[in-house]
C-alpha cells in the first residue's frame, strides 16, 4: 500500500452563549410553560415566567405567548395572579409548600381561586404586562393573528386592579406585599424587622424540600423559614382575605414594576384601539411615580426604602429593590442621578468592587455573598438596572453592566445567583431567567434603545 493518509481532526467549536442559553430554555420547557429549575423549582413561578418570556420571545414568540397565557389561565376571580401554578405530575414531596399546604381550591374559593388547577395563594411582582407587550412586539403579526393582546388585556387589567385596590394597605395608592415571598427577594434583610413580629411555625410540622437541592449556608435560616411558613398558613386560614395580617410592606421594587407594567398596559390598550383607557393608565403611572417618591424616597441616603405599614416607618436597610425604580421614565432627574451614584458607590460597588450589583448593601452588617438575597447578585435585578441606566442616559455604564452580565452568565452556567465580587455561581444551574435575560441582552440591540427606542418602538417600553 502507499503512504497512509493523514486525517486532520476538525476543531470542535464550543457552543455560543446564545446556543447555551437556548438549550437551558428548551430543557426547562414543559410543553406549556418553563420551570425555573428542573430540580429545585419544578413548577411554574409567576415573575420567573414573565422574565423567561422576555428572553423566549427571541427564540419562539409563540412559546413566549403560551408561557404568559398558561400563567394567566390560573388567575383568581379577585384578579390576583398566584406566585406558583402547580404541575400535577410532580410529586407532592418534591417542593414545599406544596398544593396540599396552600389548599387553593378550598381555602381560596371565596377569593375566586380556579377549581381546575392548584396554585399558591400569594402573588409575585407584576412584570407581566411589560412582558406581554415585549412579547407582542417580537412578532406583531403572530400576536394579532392569535388575538394575544385582546385575550390577556382583561386579565392584566384585573391583576393591576387587585393590586391597586385590595393591596393598597396604606391608602396612598401603592400596593403592599403581605409575605416576603411576594416581593420576590425572599430572604432580604429588608424583611428582618417586619418579620420579627411573627412567631415561627413548628419545624416539626413541615419538611424543607429546598435543602435537598441547595446548601444550607446558601438558603434561608430555619428561623426565617419558620416565619415564612407561619405567615403563609395564617393567610390561608383567613381564606386569603387581605388586610389583617402581621406583615404588610410597601416595597419600592414591587411598586416600580407595577408602574412599569401600567405603562406597558397603556401601550397594549392603545394597540387594541382603547385610547381613553390607555391615556388614563399612562397618567396614573405618572401619578404613582410621584407617590412612590413621596412615600419611599430618602434623599439623604440616595435610596428608596421599604415602608412597614404596621409601624408606619421606613425600613433603613439598603436592598437592591431600592435601586429598581431607576426603570421609571417619569422619575425626577435628581432622583435618577442619585440612584446612579448610589449604585456605583460603596454600598453596591457597581463598576468597582462588584462585578454585578449585589442584592444587599456590601457594607451592611447582614451582608453575606452566598446566602439567598442577603448579598448575592441576581440576573433579573441587574437586567432591570441595565435598562434603567440606559433609559436615563447612562449609556457607558449600561454597556459595562451588560458586558459583565453576559460574562458572568456564561462563566456560571446561568446560575440562579452569583457572588457579586467573583461571579461564582450559587444555587441552581441552568436557571430559567438567567438564561432568558442573557439571551435578551444578546439579541435586543442596545443601540436602538440608546437612540430613543428605549421609550419608543424598539426598546423597553416599545
pLDDT digits (tens, 9 = 90+) for 278-291: 999 999 999 999 99
d(CA 378, CA 125): 15
The predicted structure's pLDDT at residue 149: 98
- Three-state DSSP at 279 gives helix
Contacts of 275 by beta carbon, 8 Å cutoff, 6+ apart: 269
- DSSP-derived secondary structure letter, 203: G
Q: Which helix (H) or strand (E) holds 44?
A: strand 44-45
Q: Is the pLDDT assigned to residue 11 strictly greater than 90? A: no
Q: Is the pLDDT assigned to residue 452 strictly greater than 90? A: no
Residue written as grid cell 395572579: 81
Q: Which of 416, 419, 440, 444 is catalytic?
A: 416
Task: For the chain, give the number of residues.
Answer: 462
The predicted structure's pLDDT at residue 434: 98
- Average pLDDT on 386-396 reads 97
What is the pLDDT confidence band of residue 208, given thresholds at 50, 70 and 90? low
d(CA 75, CA 242): 17
Exposed, middle or buried, 173 (CB in 10 Å: 0-12/13-18/19+)? Answer: middle
Q: Is the pLDDT assigned to residue 433 strictly greater than 80? A: yes
The predicted structure's pLDDT at residue 290: 98
- Average pLDDT on 297-304 reads 98
Q: Is the pLDDT assigned to residue 407 strictly greater than 80? A: yes
d(CA 239, CA 247): 16
d(CA 86, CA 66): 16
The predicted structure's pLDDT at residue 9: 52
Neighbours of 285 (CB within 10 A): 21
* Residue 186 falls in the annotated catalytic set: yes
The predicted structure's pLDDT at residue 217: 67
Q: Is the pLDDT assigned to residue 213 strictly greater than 80? A: no
The predicted structure's pLDDT at residue 47: 97
Contacts of 102 by beta carbon, 8 Å cutoff, 6+ apart: 84, 108, 118, 119, 120, 121, 232, 236
pTM: 0.94
- Grid cell locating 173: 395608592
3-state helix, strand, coil in the chain (%, to 5): 50, 5, 45
Please, what is the average pLDDT of the chain?
92
- Grid cell locating 37: 429549575
What is the pLDDT confidence band of residue 21, given thresholds at 50, 70 and 90? very high
Q: Is the pLDDT assigned to residue 31 strictly greater than 60? A: yes
| Adjacent-strand bridge partners of 85 | 44, 119
Q: Is the pLDDT assigned to residue 395 strictly greater than 60? A: yes
Own/partner contacts of 230-235, CB < 8 Å, gap of 24 or more, are: 230/198, 230/199, 230/200, 230/201, 231/178, 231/179, 231/180, 231/198, 232/97, 232/101, 232/102, 232/121, 232/122, 232/179, 232/181, 233/101, 233/201, 235/121, 235/122, 235/178, 235/179
What is the pLDDT confidence band of residue 58, given thresholds at 50, 70 and 90? very high
d(CA 27, CA 43): 14
Exposed, middle or buried, 94 (CB in 10 Å: 0-12/13-18/19+)? Answer: middle
The predicted structure's pLDDT at residue 456: 41
- DSSP-derived secondary structure letter, 199: P
- Going from the C-alpha of 336 to that of each of 250, 323, 356, 394, the distances in angstroms are 20, 9, 19, 10
- 367 and 358 in contact (C-beta within 8 Å)? yes
Contacts of 312 by beta carbon, 8 Å cutoff, 6+ apart: none
- 287 and 262 in contact (C-beta within 8 Å)? no
Examine residue 393 and say whether the peptide bond preceding it is cis (omega within 30 degrees of 0).
no
Higher pLDDT, 216 or 354: 354
Q: Is the pLDDT assigned to residue 324 strictly greater than 60? A: yes
The predicted structure's pLDDT at residue 250: 98
The predicted structure's pLDDT at residue 15: 85
Higher pLDDT, 39 or 193: 193
- 55 and 437 in contact (C-beta within 8 Å)? yes
Tens-place pLDDT, residues 121-159: 999 999 999 999 999 999 999 999 999 999 999 999 999
What is the pLDDT confidence band of residue 447, given thresholds at 50, 70 and 90? low
- Grid cell locating 51: 422574565
Q: Which of 168, 186, 298, 411 is catalytic?
A: 186
Q: Is the pLDDT assigned to residue 450 strictly greater than 60? A: no
Amino acid at each position: 500500500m502507499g503512504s497512509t493518509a493523514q486525517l486532520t481532526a476538525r476543531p470542535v467549536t464550543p457552543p455560543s452563549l446564545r446556543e447555551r442559553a437556548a438549550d437551558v430554555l428548551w430543557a426547562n420547557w414543559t410543553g406549556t410553560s418553563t420551570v425555573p429549575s428542573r430540580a429545585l423549582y419544578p413548577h411554574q413561578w409567576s415573575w420567573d415566567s414573565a422574565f423567561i418570556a422576555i428572553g423566549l420571545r427571541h427564540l419562539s414568540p409563540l412559546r413566549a405567548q403560551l408561557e404568559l397565557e398558561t400563567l394567566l389561565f390560573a388567575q383568581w376571580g379577585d384578579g390576583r395572579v398566584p406566585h406558583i401554578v402547580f404541575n400535577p405530575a410532580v410529586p407532592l414531596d418534591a417542593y414545599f409548600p406544596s398544593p396540599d399546604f396552600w389548599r387553593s381550591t378550598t381555602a381560596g374559593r371565596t377569593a375566586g381561586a380556579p377549581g381546575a388547577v392548584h396554585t399558591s395563594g400569594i402573588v409575585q411582582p407584576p412584570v407581566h404586562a411589560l412582558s406581554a407587550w415585549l412579547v407582542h412586539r417580537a412578532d406583531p403579526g403572530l400576536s394579532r393573528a392569535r388575538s394575544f393582546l385582546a385575550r390577556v388585556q382583561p386579565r392584566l387589567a384585573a391583576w393591576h386592579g387587585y393590586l391597586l385596590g385590595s393591596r393598597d394597605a396604606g391608602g396612598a395608592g401603592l400596593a403592599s406585599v403581605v409575605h416576603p415571598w411576594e416581593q420576590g427577594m425572599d430572604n432580604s434583610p429588608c424583611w428582618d424587622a417586619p418579620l420579627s413580629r411573627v412567631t415561627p411555625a413548628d419545624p416539626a410540622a413541615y419538611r424543607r424540600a429546598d435543602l435537598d437541592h441547595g446548601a444550607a449556608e446558601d438558603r434561608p435560616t430555619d428561623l426565617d423559614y419558620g416565619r415564612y411558613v407561619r405567615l403563609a398558613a395564617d393567610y390561608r386560614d383567613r381564606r386569603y382575605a387581605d388586610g389583617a395580617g402581621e406583615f404588610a410592606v410597601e416595597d419600592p421594587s414591587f411598586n416600580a414594576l407595577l408602574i412599569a407594567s401600567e405603562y406597558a398596559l397603556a401601550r397594549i390598550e392603545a394597540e387594541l384601539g382603547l385610547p381613553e383607557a390607555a391615556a388614563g393608565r399612562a397618567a396614573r403611572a405618572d401619578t404613582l411615580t410621584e407617590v412612590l417618591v413621596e412615600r419611599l424616597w430618602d434623599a439623604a441616603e440616595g435610596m428608596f426604602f421599604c415602608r412597614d405599614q404596621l409601624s408606619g416607618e421606613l425600613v433603613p436597610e439598603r436592598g437592591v429593590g431600592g435601586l429598581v425604580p431607576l426603570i421609571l421614565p417619569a422619575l425626577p432627574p435628581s432622583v435618577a442621578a442619585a440612584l446612579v451614584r448610589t449604585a456605583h458607590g460603596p454600598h453596591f460597588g457597581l463598576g468597582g468592587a462588584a462585578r454585578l450589583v449585589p442584592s444587599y448593601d456590601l457594607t451592611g452588617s447582614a451582608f453575606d455573598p452566598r446566602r439567598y438575597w442577603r448579598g448575592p447578585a441576581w440576573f433579573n435585578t441587574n437586567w432591570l438596572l441595565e435598562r434603567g441606566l440606559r433609559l436615563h442616559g447612562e449609556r457607558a455604564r449600561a454597556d459595562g453592566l451588560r458586558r459583565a452580565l453576559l460574562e458572568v452568565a456564561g462563566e456560571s452556567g446561568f446560575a440562579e445567583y452569583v457572588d457579586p465580587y467573583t461571579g461564582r455561581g450559587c444555587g441552581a444551574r441552568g436557571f430559567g431567567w438567567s438564561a432568558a435575560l442573557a439571551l435578551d441582552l444578546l439579541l435586543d440591540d442596545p443601540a436602538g434603545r440608546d437612540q430613543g427606542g428605549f421609550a419608543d418602538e424598539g426598546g423597553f417600553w416599545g
